[in-house]
Structure 1
Amino acid sequence: MAVSDEPFDEPTTSREEIFRATYLVLREHGYAGASIQRIADRTSLSKSTIYYHFDDKYHLLLQFSEELLTWYMDRLLVGHDGDVWESIHRLLDLVYLGETADGVAFEDVFAPGYVATIIEMRGQAVRNPEMREYVSRTDETIRERFATVVEAGIENGTLRATDPDAVAGFLFLLFEGALMLRLCEQDAAWLTDVRTAIDVYLQELEQR
C-alpha cells in the first residue's frame, strides 16, 4: 500500500464502517464538529447501531484514535517497503519537512481535523484519568512500533547495537512534537533546520 492510502477505506464490518465515517467527519469538521449524527449520516447504519457499539461520542473517538494510530504506524513504519531505517527518515521528513522525498504531503497523510482531535484529547488528559490512560496506551503503542523498526535495523546491520526502547522513546518525542507543532504554528519552516540537526543524531546510530 502507498503511504497516502486512506484508513478504513474498504470496511467489512459495522465497526469499520463507523471508523471510516468518523475519519471522514473529523477530516471535514474537526473534533468540535464531530457528532454521532454526522457520523451516522456517512454510514448505512442508524444512530442506534452506533450506540450499540459505543457508549457515546467520547468513547467512539477514543477507540477510533487508537485504531487509526496503529494503522498509521503500521504503514508509515513497519509496513513500508524497503530498508527499515529508511522508514524512520521518511516519517521524519513527513512531519518536519511537510512531505516525503517522493512527494507525499503531510496533509495527505495526517488530516488536520484528526491531528486537532489528538491535541484536544491530550489537553483533556491533564485532568481526566480515563483520557490519560488512553493517551498512555496509545503512546506506548507508537513507541513499540518505533522499537520494532530499531530492532529490525540492528538485526540487519543497518544500525549499531543500541537500546531499542531508549531510541524508540526519543524518536517518539521527535515525531509527536513535530506532529503537534506543524498544525499549531503559523509558520513551521523552522522545522526544516531541526530536521537537519536530527540527522546528526541518526547518523550516530547508523552502522559504519
Structure 2
Amino acid sequence: MDRLAEPFANPETSREEIFRATYRALADHGYADLSIQHIADRTSLSKSTIYHHFDGKDDLLMAFTERMLERYVEAFLAGPEGDPLGTLDRSLDLVLVGETADGVPIEEVQTAELARVVLELRAQAVRDPRVQDYFDATDRMIRDHIEALLSAAVEEGSLRDVDAERVAAVLYVILEGALVLRTTGRDAEWLRHVRAMVDDYLAGLKRES
C-alpha cells in the first residue's frame, strides 16, 4: 500500500509544481483568501508561467480539485488485491477506528492538513456549481467502487445476493460523514461504536458457511 505523503511532494512537471504550491497556499490561507501570488510565492515559477498553464485562479483551482479528489479516492479505497471485503474493512477501520488492522494510522493516509484542504474544497460546492460537479462525480465514483467491491464479494460467495448499490450508499454516507467529523472535531473515539454496528450490519449480509 502506498502511504499518502504531502500531495505533489516531488513534482516532475511545472503543473505538478503549481499544484504543490496550490496545496501549500490553501493550507496556509484557505480557499477564500487564496491568490495566484500566494501560489507563485511557493514555486520557482513566475505568475506568467502559471497563467501559461491556467486561464486564472478559478481554472487552476478546478484542475487542482480534480487531481486532489483522485488522490482522495486512491487513499481510502486501496486494499488487498482479490479481497473485496478486506478492502472495505481497511477503509472502515481507517475512518472509524483511526487505523488499519495491521497498524497503519489514518494520519499516514490522510494528514490533518490534507483533510482540512479537502474539506475547504467541499465547502466551496455550496456556492460554486463547478466544484459541486466535481464532488458529485467523485461521490458517485466512490459509491460505484464500493458497489463493485460488494458485487465481487457476492460473486465469490462471501456475501448473500444483496442490493450492492443500496449497501454501497449506506457505507459511503458512514465513511464520508465520519471523515467530516474527524476533520472538524477532536473526539473521534466514539466512532468505534459505529464501527461495531457496521460490523454487525455486514455480518448479517454474509453468506453462512
Structure with more of its chain in helix, by fraction: 1
Q: Which has the larger radius of gyration?
A: 2
- Stretches of structure 2 that go unaligned for 5 or more consecutive residues are none
Contact map agreement 1:76 1:87 (CA 8 A) in 2: no
> 2: CA distance between counterparts of 1:62 and 1:130?
8
Question: TM-score under structure 2 normalisation?
Answer: 0.81
Counterpart position of 2:40: 40
- Contact 2:75/2:110 (<8 A) preserved: no
**Retained in 2: the 8 A contact 1:77–1:84?**
no
Q: Sort the Cα spacing of 1:161 and 1:23 in 2 relative to 1 into closer, same or farther, 3 A.
A: farther
- Tell me the equivalent position of 2:197: 197
Equivalent residue number for residue 181 of structure 1: 181
Instruction: Note the aligned Cα RMSD (angstroms).
Output: 2.7
In the aligned structure 2, how far is the partner of 1:80 from the partner of 1:57?
39
**Unaligned runs of at least 5 residues, structure 1:** none
Q: 1:192 to 1:57 in 2, by over 3 A?
A: farther
Give the secondary structure class of the aligned counterpart of 1:102: coil
**Aligned partners of 2:126 and 2:132 also within 8 Å:** yes
Aligned residues: 208
Structure 1 residue 141 corresponds to structure 2 residue 141: yes
The sequence identity of aligned pairs, in percent, is 49
Q: Which runs of 4 or more aligned residues in structure 1 lie more than 4 Å from their structure 2 counterparts after TM superposition?
A: 24-35
Does the CA contact (< 8 Å) of 1:78 and 1:145 recur in 2?
Answer: no
The 1:39–1:127 alpha-carbon spacing in structure 2 relative to 1, beyond 3 Å, is: closer
Query: For the Cα contact (< 8 Å) 2:7–2:20, is it kept in 1?
Result: yes
Partner SS state of residue 110, structure 1:
coil
TM-score, with length taken from structure 1: 0.81
Task: Say if 1:194 and 1:63 are closer, same or farther in 2 by CA, change over 3 A.
Answer: same
Q: Tell me, in whole angstroms, the C-alpha distance in 2 between the residues paired with 1:207 and 1:99.
A: 27
Which is worse superposed, 41-50 or 81-90?
41-50
Relative distance call for 1:71 and 1:155 in structure 2 (3 A) is farther
- Is the counterpart of residue 156 in structure 1 residue 156 in structure 2? yes
Deviations 1:47-87 (A, max 9, x none): 22222333333443333232222233235325644522111
- Residue 96 of structure 1 contacts residue 194 of structure 1 at CA under 8 Å; is this kept in 2? yes
1:107 aligns with: 107
The aligned counterpart of 1:16 is 16
> In 2, Cα distance between the equivalents of 1:100 and 1:79?
10
**Contact 2:65–2:134 at 8 Å: present in 1 too?**
no
Please tell me whether the aligned partners of residues 80 and 87 of structure 1 are also in contact (alpha carbons under 8 angstroms). Answer: yes
Indicate conservation of the 8 Å contact 2:96/2:192, yes or no.
yes
Residues 111-137 of structure 1 show CA distances to partners (whole Å, capped at 9, x for unaligned) of 323322333333332343333223212
Cα 1:63–1:112 shift into 2, 3 Å: farther
Report what 1:88 is aligned to: 88
